Amino acid sequence: MIESAVLTVTGMKCGGCEANIVGALTAIEGIAQVNASNKENTVSVEFDTEKTDLDAIKEAITGAGFTVEA
């Protein structure tokens, strides 16, 4: 099942930061779509819940050097 989420992410300063997050998330199996906005400090993601989950997505963002707000 495809689910969507919008996460508040801090630490994005430019388009390069957006690209880093998009790259980190698209490497995860089950990610259908990712949009990152440094202006809004958000990452919107669509993912297949049978292949990945929100915790894995948050871990990938954190691993890329950014902070996911609660």
Within the chain, where are the H helices? 15-26, 54-63
State residue 19's pLDDT score. 98
State residue 61's pLDDT score. 98
State residue 70's pLDDT score. 75
Per-residue pLDDT tens for 13-70? 999 999 999 999 999 999 999 999 999 999 999 999 999 999 999 999 999 999 999 7
Instruction: Specify the CATH number of the domain 2-68.
Output: 3.30.70.100
Q: Which residue has the tokens 């880093």?
A: 20
pTM over the 0.85 mark:
yes
Non-local (6+) Cβ contacts of 7 within 8 A are 42, 43, 44, 45, 57, 58, 61, 68, 69
Instruction: Give residue limits of the domains in the chain.
Output: 2-68
Rounded to whole angstroms, the Cα distance separating 68 from 7 reads 7
